[in-house]
Every structure is written in structure tokens, then in C-alpha cells.
Amino acid sequence: ERGPRGGGGAGGERRGPGPAGKRGRCLSSYDMVHYGHSNQLRQARAMGDYLIVGVHTDEEIAKHKGPPVFTQEERYKMVQAIKWVDEIAPGAPYVTTLETLDKYNCDFCVHGDDITLTIDGKDTYEEVKTAGRYRECKRTQGVSTTDLVGRMLLMTKAHHSNIDEDLDYRKHTDNFGKGPKGHSPWTGVSQFLQTSQKIIQFASGKEPQPGDTIIYVAGAFDLFHIGHVDFLEKVHQLAEKPYIIAGLHFDQEVNRYKGKNYPIMNIHERTLSVLACRYVSEVVIGAPYAVTADLLDHFRVTLVCHGMTEVVPDKDGSDPYEEPKRRSIFQLVDSGSNLTTDLIVQRIIKNRLEFEARNQKKEAKELAVLEAMKRVEDEKH
């Protein structure tokens, strides 16, 4: 059965496969969807004409990996919001078979260059690899769900940009998921390095066109999640030809109004997460907290929107939305979702022990496979 369909571009336009089109398929749990997953989907989409993404059920993930952070419905919606996805296949089996590829009329499947193992340690892509219907894309260095979970549990601020690393985070990056026998290159932590090339790959590159309604939204957009997607989708529906600009606040600004160890993702990571969303046309990296007259005039903004979350006053106690309100172009938008970054962190901390056990088990399985691969190599020589 076909999954819900979504447009290929940021504006939601449809793109079907051409007559001789290559249909790629990506399969994953996509739990806590981050820019690393988005980058995998971007690369996969470039390999063919039409991308179908298989998303596993809660039951399948719990069986093979451990407790998922998000429900399957939340994950289906998150993946559908990524601009390179043409269609999703809900309830995809954990092990990719030729039967599954044929069912969705796919020429091949795509996965990152890390390994995916079943509960009994087998490669989930063995059958499709043997049949020559497997393609690989490069994994995004410097991000993993494992590391993000670690940042939440540690409650340090060392992952923020331009902040000195503290000892706890250094220990985390050295040890997180490191078993007694070594360190897996797939689960471990490495620093994400932003480049202009990566931003270009993620950006739509589209200028506003005559007749577009330029809408400005601002915030942290931390751990880009279903609450953000629901909000942006509602904002997108406010105009016939919306051009949404998202202003992202710098880490120190977010920390001023959110406190604790927020944001969990630094400004570079949040930029890519928001750019990957099909409803967003442009991102302002390090937007001012107060929506100023200069900003509104520069981008020729017609409408400024904010969700139902509390608006913290600026440093001087003023309302950051004073200017758009004065111009009567401010609008509150109810996303209908009560999911916040705080709630996600609470879910993770509640499952802390299960997550820690999951990460250690995953690391141990990956190391066992690495050892087996090394033995095979040694026997060849």
C-alpha cells in the first residue's frame, strides 16, 4: 500500500518518476530525525528520480534497537516534511528484502556507510547487496542520535558554538558508547564542522518571486521536531504563495531565554535542520532577538508569525515583536501540537537507563562486526 504522498520541493510540488525513472528507497527508523538523516535523504534523492522512504514501526525499533524517542506517527510526519522525500512507506520491515523493493517498484535501496544489524547481529541489507540493488551514501560526520542523547543527559553547554569545552563533555566525547574493547566509528562522537558547501547543498537557493507572501518566523528551532513542523505547515497554509524565512537565534541568545544547557543543537546544526524542511525557503543565521524595522524592510516581510509558546522579553525588558505589532503584521499561529523541546528531553531522561543500555549494546554489536570484517581481511593476506 502506498504511503501518504508529499511534494518533492520546498513548496510541496509533486514529482512522479519518469517513464524510465530510477526509484530510490531509503529505509531507517528515523528516530529523532536530525540533519544527518536529512543529508542521507538528499544524497539518495540525487541518485534517482523519485524517493520513497520506509519508516519502521515502534514495535520493530523496540525489538532491534531499543525504545524509540518518537511515536511512529510523529516519525512519519517528520520524514514527510523533509524536502527531498517524494513518498513515505509506513511500517517498513526492519530487514530490507527484494520483495519489499519490488512491492514499491524500486530499482535500488540506499543506506549510509554505517552498518545496520538485526537483533541477532546480521546485516539487514545482505539480500539486496547480493542482488546488486544496494547503493551507499556518505554518513554525515559529527552527528548521531547517540551524541544528541548524551548532550541532553550531561546538561553541559560545551556543545554550543564558540564556548570552551568543559571536562564533562570532553569525557563524553572520549567515552560515549565506548565499550571495553574499543570505539565504534559509527556510534561515537565527533565534532560537526559546518562548511559553506553543506549550506549550499541544503538551501533552496530560491529568491522570493513577485506575488509571494514573505513570512518571517523566529526562534531556536532546537532538536527540530514535529511541533516545529506542525507550526511551519500551518504558517505555510496562510498564503497562496508563501515564502517562509526562519530566523535562528545564536546559541548564547537561546541560552539567555531558555536556560539550562539549551540549545541542545548549536547554531550550525540548527541551520541545516531547518533548511531541510520543505516549508522553509530561507534561514537567517543568528537573527536578532527583537524583530527590528531594519530586518522587516530588508526582507520585505509581509507577515510575522509566532507559535503559542511564551515570548520572553528582550534584555531591556521590551517585547521582541513590538515593531511587527506596530505595523499590524503580527499573527499568533496555533500549531495544534503540544510537543516542545523540553518534552523531548523529558522523554529521553525518563528512558535514560534504557537508552544507555541501548547505546552500549549497539556499540558492542558494531565492534563485533568490525572484528569479523578485520578477520576476513587478515585471512585474505
Q: Using 50, 70 and 90 to split pLDDT, how confident is the model at 19?
A: very low
Residues ≥6 apart with Cβ < 8 Å to 227: 307, 335, 337, 338, 339, 340, 341
User: Tens digit of pLDDT for each residue in 260-270?
Assistant: 889 999 999 99
pLDDT of residue 310 exceeding 80: yes
**Mean pLDDT on 283-295:** 98
Asked if 56 contacts 138 with a C-beta cutoff of 8 angstroms, the reply is no
User: Tens digit of pLDDT for each residue in 183-213?
Assistant: 444 344 446 788 999 999 999 889 999 999 9
SS (H, E, C) the chain: CCCCECCCCCCCCCCCCCCCCCEEEEEECCCCCCHHHHHHHHHHHHHCCEEEEEECCHHHHHHHCCCCCCCHHHHHHHHHCECCCCEEEECCCCCCCHHHHHHCCCCEEEEECCCCECCCCCECCHHHHHCCCEEEECCCCCCCHHHHHHHHHHCCCCCCCCCCCCHHHHHHHHHCCCECCECCCCCCCCCCCCCHHHHHHHCCCCCCCCCCEEEEEEECCCCCCHHHHHHHHHHHCCCCCEEEEEEECCHHHHHHHHCCCCCCCCHHHHHHHHHCECCCCEEEECCCCCCCHHHHHHCCCCEEEECCCCCCCCCCCCCCCHHHHHCCCEEECCCCCCCCHHHHHHHHHHCHHHHHHHHHHHHHHHHHHHHHHHHHHHHHC
Q: What percent of the chain has pLDDT over 90?
A: 50
Lowest mean pLDDT among 30-44, 133-147, 305-319, 344-358: 344-358
- C-alpha distances (whole Å) from 358 to each of 16, 100, 146 are 39, 27, 9
pLDDT given for residue 139 in this prediction: 76
**Residue predicted with more confidence, 242 or 172:** 242
Asked if 251 contacts 222 with a C-beta cutoff of 8 angstroms, the reply is no
Q: Which amino acid is at 148?
A: L
pLDDT given for residue 33 in this prediction: 78
User: Tens digit of pLDDT for each residue in 48-93?
Assistant: 999 999 998 999 888 877 778 788 999 999 999 999 999 999 998 8
Q: What is the dihedral of CA 72, 77, 79, 83, to 10 degrees?
A: 180
Residue written as grid cell 520541493: 9
Q: Using 50, 70 and 90 to split pLDDT, how confident is the model at 218?
A: very high
pLDDT given for residue 115 in this prediction: 65
| Separation of alpha carbons 116 and 123, rounded Å | 6
Asked if 218 contacts 295 with a C-beta cutoff of 8 angstroms, the reply is no
Residue written as grid cell 509533486: 14
pTM over 0.85: no
pLDDT given for residue 190 in this prediction: 47
Residue 27 has phi, psi (to 5 degrees) of -125, 130
**Residue predicted with more confidence, 306 or 140:** 306
User: Tens digit of pLDDT for each residue in 135-177?
Assistant: 988 877 777 777 787 788 776 677 787 665 555 545 544 444 4
pLDDT given for residue 359 in this prediction: 66
95-109, 167-181, 248-262: range with highest mean pLDDT: 248-262
Mean pLDDT of the chain: 82
User: Tens digit of pLDDT for each residue in 321-343?
Assistant: 999 999 999 999 999 999 998 99
| Separation of alpha carbons 127 and 133, rounded Å | 9
pLDDT given for residue 174 in this prediction: 44
pLDDT given for residue 355 in this prediction: 64
Q: Using 50, 70 and 90 to split pLDDT, how confident is the model at 345?
A: confident
The region that residue 22 occupies, defined by phi over 0 for left and psi between -120 and 50 for alpha, beta otherwise, is beta
Distance of alpha carbon 266 from the chain centroid:
13
